Amino acid sequence: PLACNTAAPDEGNMYLLGHIGSAEIKDRFLKQLISGEARSAFFMTEPAEEGGAGSDPSMMQTTCRKDGNHWVINGRKAFITGADGAKVGIVMAASEEEDSRGGACMFLVDLPDPAIRIVDVPNTIDTSMPGSHATVEIENLRVPADQLLGQPGEGFKYAQVRLSPARLSHCMRWLGACIRAQEIATDYACRREAFKKTLIDHEGVGFMLAQNRIDIKQAELMIYWCASVLDTGDLGSTESSMAKVAVS
Protein backbone atom coordinates (compact mmCIF):
# COMPACT_ATOMS: atom_id res chain seq x y z
CA PRO A 1 0.00 0.00 0.00
CA LEU A 2 2.79 2.46 0.84
CA ALA A 3 4.61 1.80 -2.44
CA CYS A 4 1.37 2.19 -4.41
CA ASN A 5 0.37 5.33 -2.42
CA THR A 6 -2.89 3.73 -1.32
CA ALA A 7 -2.10 3.44 2.39
CA ALA A 8 -4.36 4.70 5.16
CA PRO A 9 -4.94 7.48 5.99
CA ASP A 10 -3.51 9.03 2.82
CA GLU A 11 -5.92 7.30 0.44
CA GLY A 12 -8.97 8.51 2.38
CA ASN A 13 -7.56 11.99 2.76
CA MET A 14 -6.82 12.29 -0.95
CA TYR A 15 -10.37 11.14 -1.75
CA LEU A 16 -11.84 13.71 0.64
CA LEU A 17 -9.74 16.63 -0.66
CA GLY A 18 -10.52 15.64 -4.23
CA HIS A 19 -14.24 15.88 -3.54
CA ILE A 20 -14.45 18.81 -1.11
CA GLY A 21 -11.25 20.87 -1.41
CA SER A 22 -11.10 24.24 -3.14
CA ALA A 23 -8.77 24.75 -6.09
CA GLU A 24 -6.27 26.42 -3.76
CA ILE A 25 -6.39 23.58 -1.22
CA LYS A 26 -5.97 20.99 -3.97
CA ASP A 27 -2.97 22.81 -5.36
CA ARG A 28 -1.30 23.36 -2.00
CA PHE A 29 -2.14 20.16 -0.11
CA LEU A 30 -3.60 17.49 -2.41
CA LYS A 31 -0.94 17.73 -5.10
CA GLN A 32 1.90 16.76 -2.75
CA LEU A 33 -0.09 13.77 -1.47
CA ILE A 34 -0.88 12.49 -4.96
CA SER A 35 2.76 12.81 -6.00
CA GLY A 36 3.87 10.83 -2.95
CA GLU A 37 6.05 13.68 -1.72
CA ALA A 38 4.15 13.92 1.57
CA ARG A 39 2.22 11.78 4.03
CA SER A 40 -0.88 12.98 5.87
CA ALA A 41 -2.86 12.47 9.09
CA PHE A 42 -6.56 12.77 9.89
CA PHE A 43 -7.15 14.28 13.35
CA MET A 44 -10.63 13.16 14.41
CA THR A 45 -10.57 10.44 17.12
CA GLU A 46 -10.29 11.60 20.75
CA PRO A 47 -9.27 9.81 23.98
CA ALA A 48 -12.50 8.24 25.26
CA GLU A 49 -11.13 7.79 28.78
CA GLU A 50 -10.93 11.58 29.08
CA GLY A 51 -14.55 12.04 28.07
CA GLY A 52 -13.63 12.71 24.46
CA ALA A 53 -15.40 11.56 21.35
CA GLY A 54 -13.57 8.30 20.81
CA SER A 55 -14.57 7.53 17.24
CA ASP A 56 -17.97 9.28 17.53
CA PRO A 57 -17.46 12.75 16.06
CA SER A 58 -20.81 13.99 17.39
CA MET A 59 -19.27 13.93 20.91
CA MET A 60 -16.22 15.94 19.86
CA GLN A 61 -14.57 18.08 22.54
CA THR A 62 -11.87 19.66 20.36
CA THR A 63 -13.09 23.20 19.67
CA CYS A 64 -12.56 25.83 17.02
CA ARG A 65 -13.49 29.51 17.17
CA LYS A 66 -13.21 32.34 14.70
CA ASP A 67 -10.62 35.03 15.48
CA GLY A 68 -10.43 37.63 12.73
CA ASN A 69 -9.30 35.93 9.54
CA HIS A 70 -8.07 32.86 11.48
CA TRP A 71 -9.56 29.96 13.40
CA VAL A 72 -8.14 28.93 16.78
CA ILE A 73 -8.24 25.22 17.64
CA ASN A 74 -7.76 23.49 21.00
CA GLY A 75 -8.15 19.86 21.97
CA ARG A 76 -6.64 16.41 22.31
CA LYS A 77 -6.64 13.60 19.75
CA ALA A 78 -5.78 9.89 19.97
CA PHE A 79 -4.88 7.05 17.58
CA ILE A 80 -3.90 9.54 14.88
CA THR A 81 -2.38 7.25 12.27
CA GLY A 82 0.67 8.65 10.51
CA ALA A 83 0.92 11.81 12.63
CA ASP A 84 4.63 11.33 13.33
CA GLY A 85 6.35 12.51 10.15
CA ALA A 86 3.25 13.73 8.29
CA LYS A 87 3.43 16.98 6.32
CA VAL A 88 -0.32 17.49 5.79
CA GLY A 89 -2.98 17.37 8.49
CA ILE A 90 -6.79 17.44 8.37
CA VAL A 91 -8.00 18.59 11.79
CA MET A 92 -11.64 18.16 12.83
CA ALA A 93 -13.06 20.40 15.57
CA ALA A 94 -16.48 21.37 16.89
CA SER A 95 -17.77 24.90 16.29
CA GLU A 96 -20.67 26.38 18.22
CA GLU A 97 -20.27 29.76 16.55
CA GLU A 98 -21.05 28.70 13.01
CA ASP A 99 -23.76 26.16 13.69
CA SER A 100 -26.39 26.28 16.42
CA ARG A 101 -26.25 22.48 16.63
CA GLY A 102 -22.52 22.55 17.31
CA GLY A 103 -21.51 21.45 13.83
CA ALA A 104 -17.91 20.43 13.16
CA CYS A 105 -15.35 22.01 10.87
CA MET A 106 -12.33 20.55 9.07
CA PHE A 107 -9.08 22.42 8.51
CA LEU A 108 -5.97 21.81 6.41
CA VAL A 109 -2.69 22.42 8.22
CA ASP A 110 0.99 22.20 7.39
CA LEU A 111 2.91 19.81 9.62
CA PRO A 112 4.86 19.81 11.80
CA ASP A 113 3.39 22.73 13.74
CA PRO A 114 4.50 23.70 17.28
CA ALA A 115 0.84 24.02 18.30
CA ILE A 116 0.30 20.32 17.49
CA ARG A 117 2.36 18.27 19.93
CA ILE A 118 2.76 14.49 19.87
CA VAL A 119 2.62 13.36 23.50
CA ASP A 120 2.67 9.59 23.01
CA VAL A 121 3.43 7.11 20.25
CA PRO A 122 2.16 3.74 21.46
CA ASN A 123 4.00 0.49 20.87
CA THR A 124 1.66 -1.53 18.63
CA ILE A 125 1.75 -4.91 16.92
CA ASP A 126 0.94 -3.19 13.61
CA THR A 127 4.03 -1.90 11.80
CA SER A 128 2.55 -1.52 8.32
CA MET A 129 1.63 2.15 8.67
CA PRO A 130 4.45 4.70 9.06
CA GLY A 131 4.00 7.32 11.75
CA SER A 132 2.27 4.90 14.15
CA HIS A 133 -0.96 5.94 15.94
CA ALA A 134 -0.08 8.92 18.11
CA THR A 135 -1.84 10.78 20.90
CA VAL A 136 -1.71 14.51 20.14
CA GLU A 137 -2.37 17.76 22.00
CA ILE A 138 -3.51 20.82 20.04
CA GLU A 139 -3.01 24.12 21.86
CA ASN A 140 -4.04 27.44 20.31
CA LEU A 141 -3.47 26.28 16.76
CA ARG A 142 -4.11 29.23 14.44
CA VAL A 143 -5.33 28.30 10.98
CA PRO A 144 -6.01 30.87 8.20
CA ALA A 145 -9.68 31.01 7.23
CA ASP A 146 -8.93 29.98 3.64
CA GLN A 147 -7.66 26.61 4.96
CA LEU A 148 -11.14 25.66 6.15
CA LEU A 149 -12.24 22.59 4.17
CA GLY A 150 -15.60 23.22 2.52
CA GLN A 151 -18.21 25.00 4.61
CA PRO A 152 -18.21 25.60 8.40
CA GLY A 153 -20.45 23.25 10.35
CA GLU A 154 -20.35 20.56 7.64
CA GLY A 155 -17.53 18.47 9.11
CA PHE A 156 -19.77 15.56 10.14
CA LYS A 157 -21.07 15.27 6.59
CA TYR A 158 -17.56 15.41 5.14
CA ALA A 159 -16.44 12.65 7.53
CA GLN A 160 -19.13 10.42 6.00
CA VAL A 161 -17.91 11.25 2.48
CA ARG A 162 -14.49 9.96 3.46
CA LEU A 163 -15.61 6.99 5.55
CA SER A 164 -17.08 4.49 3.11
CA PRO A 165 -14.34 4.62 0.44
CA ALA A 166 -11.72 4.43 3.20
CA ARG A 167 -13.40 1.33 4.62
CA LEU A 168 -13.50 -0.23 1.16
CA SER A 169 -9.82 0.57 0.57
CA HIS A 170 -8.98 -1.31 3.78
CA CYS A 171 -10.94 -4.26 2.39
CA MET A 172 -9.02 -4.10 -0.90
CA ARG A 173 -5.67 -4.07 0.91
CA TRP A 174 -6.70 -7.03 3.10
CA LEU A 175 -7.91 -8.96 0.05
CA GLY A 176 -4.61 -8.40 -1.73
CA ALA A 177 -2.67 -9.67 1.29
CA CYS A 178 -4.95 -12.72 1.53
CA ILE A 179 -4.54 -13.59 -2.15
CA ARG A 180 -0.76 -13.34 -1.89
CA ALA A 181 -0.73 -15.46 1.28
CA GLN A 182 -2.87 -18.09 -0.47
CA GLU A 183 -0.46 -18.15 -3.42
CA ILE A 184 2.51 -18.68 -1.11
CA ALA A 185 0.71 -21.39 0.90
CA THR A 186 -0.47 -23.25 -2.19
CA ASP A 187 2.98 -23.18 -3.79
CA TYR A 188 4.57 -24.51 -0.61
CA ALA A 189 1.94 -27.22 -0.12
CA CYS A 190 2.51 -28.45 -3.67
CA ARG A 191 6.30 -28.74 -3.15
CA ARG A 192 6.82 -29.72 0.48
CA GLU A 193 6.80 -33.45 1.18
CA ALA A 194 5.90 -35.09 4.48
CA PHE A 195 5.12 -38.74 5.18
CA LYS A 196 6.06 -39.69 1.61
CA LYS A 197 3.69 -37.35 -0.18
CA THR A 198 3.26 -33.62 -0.79
CA LEU A 199 1.30 -31.60 1.77
CA ILE A 200 -1.44 -30.89 -0.75
CA ASP A 201 -2.16 -34.64 -0.86
CA HIS A 202 -2.91 -34.64 2.86
CA GLU A 203 -6.65 -33.99 3.01
CA GLY A 204 -6.53 -31.60 6.00
CA VAL A 205 -4.21 -29.21 4.18
CA GLY A 206 -6.29 -29.29 1.01
CA PHE A 207 -9.45 -28.58 2.99
CA MET A 208 -7.89 -25.47 4.57
CA LEU A 209 -6.70 -24.12 1.23
CA ALA A 210 -10.12 -24.77 -0.31
CA GLN A 211 -11.83 -22.91 2.52
CA ASN A 212 -9.41 -20.02 1.97
CA ARG A 213 -10.41 -19.89 -1.71
CA ILE A 214 -14.07 -19.75 -0.73
CA ASP A 215 -13.48 -16.95 1.80
CA ILE A 216 -11.35 -15.00 -0.67
CA LYS A 217 -13.99 -15.22 -3.40
CA GLN A 218 -16.72 -14.11 -0.98
CA ALA A 219 -14.56 -11.15 0.08
CA GLU A 220 -13.91 -10.22 -3.55
CA LEU A 221 -17.62 -10.26 -4.39
CA MET A 222 -18.46 -8.21 -1.29
CA ILE A 223 -15.91 -5.58 -2.36
CA TYR A 224 -17.27 -5.41 -5.91
CA TRP A 225 -20.81 -5.10 -4.57
CA CYS A 226 -19.92 -2.23 -2.24
CA ALA A 227 -17.89 -0.50 -4.99
CA SER A 228 -20.88 -0.70 -7.33
CA VAL A 229 -23.02 1.07 -4.71
CA LEU A 230 -20.43 3.82 -4.26
CA ASP A 231 -20.25 4.23 -8.05
CA THR A 232 -23.91 5.32 -8.04
CA GLY A 233 -23.00 8.28 -5.82
CA ASP A 234 -24.58 6.74 -2.72
CA LEU A 235 -22.62 7.10 0.54
CA GLY A 236 -22.78 3.32 0.98
CA SER A 237 -22.54 3.53 4.79
CA THR A 238 -24.36 0.25 5.44
CA GLU A 239 -22.71 -1.60 2.55
CA SER A 240 -19.19 -0.51 3.53
CA SER A 241 -19.85 -1.50 7.13
CA MET A 242 -20.96 -4.96 6.00
CA ALA A 243 -17.94 -5.31 3.71
CA LYS A 244 -15.49 -4.28 6.41
CA VAL A 245 -16.88 -6.85 8.86
CA ALA A 246 -16.98 -9.66 6.31
CA VAL A 247 -13.62 -9.04 4.63
CA SER A 248 -11.68 -8.45 7.84
**For residue range 123-171, what is the model confidence (pLDDT) as tens digits?**
888 777 788 899 999 999 999 999 999 998 888 888 888 888 889 999 9
The 8-class DSSP code of residue 159 comes to: H
- Given pLDDT bands bounded at 50, 70 and 90, which one contains residue 197? very high
Residue from 125, 127, 122, 124 nearest 1 by CA: 127
What's the CA gap between 65 and 228, in Å, rounded? 40
Which CATH architecture best describes the domain 158-247? Up-down Bundle (1.20)
- What's the CATH number for 10-149? 2.40.110.10
Strands 70-81 and 133-144: antiparallel
What's the CA gap between 139 and 142, in Å, rounded? 9
Give pLDDT, residue 98. 56
Helix, strand, or coil (residue 66): strand
Could you tell me where in the chain the CATH 2.40.110.10 domains are found? Answer: 10-149
pTM of this structure: 0.83
Find the range with the poorest average confidence among 58-67, 120-129, 181-190: 120-129
Give pLDDT, residue 100. 47
Find the range with the poorest average confidence among 71-80, 96-105, 195-204, 221-230: 96-105
What's the sign of the alpha-carbon dihedral 30, 34, 40, 42? positive
Residue from 90, 131, 85 nearest 109 by CA: 90
Find the range with the poorest average confidence among 18-22, 97-101, 174-178: 97-101
Helix, strand, or coil (residue 242): helix
Could you tell me where in the chain the CATH 1.20.140.10 domains are found? Answer: 158-247
